[in-house]
Amino acid sequence: MILGLDISTSIVGATVLGKEGELLYCESWDLRNKKHYPTLFDKAERIRNKFKELTQIYRYRSQFNIDKVYIEQSLQAFRPGFSSAKTILVLAKFNGIISWLCDDVLGKRPEYINVLTARKLCGIKTQRGENAKKKVLDFFLDNEPSFSIEYTKFGNPVPGSYDRADSLVIARAGYISYNEKIA
């Protein structure tokens, strides 16, 4: 089984794919409540608990064993007009903490996939200036029967929808690259 993660300090997307690539789990873990999660350590503890909960859910259903964990590679450089250097550093710290938790709790050291590579492996093409997150979400709504989302009263995807789709693209890309390596 493959676990794909889209890590951010506000919402983490998590997807589990089965042996045949079937979608078993696709959720978002909300960390935005500053009262409950005031520090990176509090947020990391929440993710630790979600990892434990995830493994317990599947142990009761069937033989559940995560073979590989894939994480969206974090930004490597500052780009004017996008995230600030401070934001990039905080995200890199959190990414490192969650990567360590994958090894500690799940017993798997994660592999990192560049988001552009992941989209390409999944057959998702975006043009310059196009909203890539919306394109990924629409792609899975159109092509993955077991992937669905809810909408706000204004017709927008509820918070976490894009994170779920991003974790699915990472999981799919991980599944594809894993199967290419063993073939």
The predicted model scores a pTM of 0.89
| Cα end-to-end distance, the chain, whole Å | 16
Q: Coil, strand or helix: which one is 24? A: strand
pLDDT in tens, 55-112: 876 655 554 578 899 999 876 554 555 567 787 888 889 999 999 999 999 999 999 9
Full domain range(s) for residue 23: 2-182
Residues 137-146 have a mean pLDDT of 93
pLDDT of residue 57: 67
Query: For position 85, what pLDDT does the model report?
Result: 75
CATH number of the domain at 145, please: 3.30.420.10
Q: How many domains does the chain have?
A: 1
153 three-state secondary structure: coil
Q: Determine the pLDDT at residue 79.
A: 52
Beta-strand relationship, 68-72 and 2-6 = parallel
CA pair distance 68, 3, nearest whole angstrom: 6
Cα–Cα–Cα angle for 81, 87, 89, nearest 5°?
120
E strands, the chain, in order: 2-6, 11-17, 23-30, 68-72, 111-113
Write the CA distances from 8 to 13, 34, 67, 112, 180, integer angstroms. 8, 14, 23, 14, 28
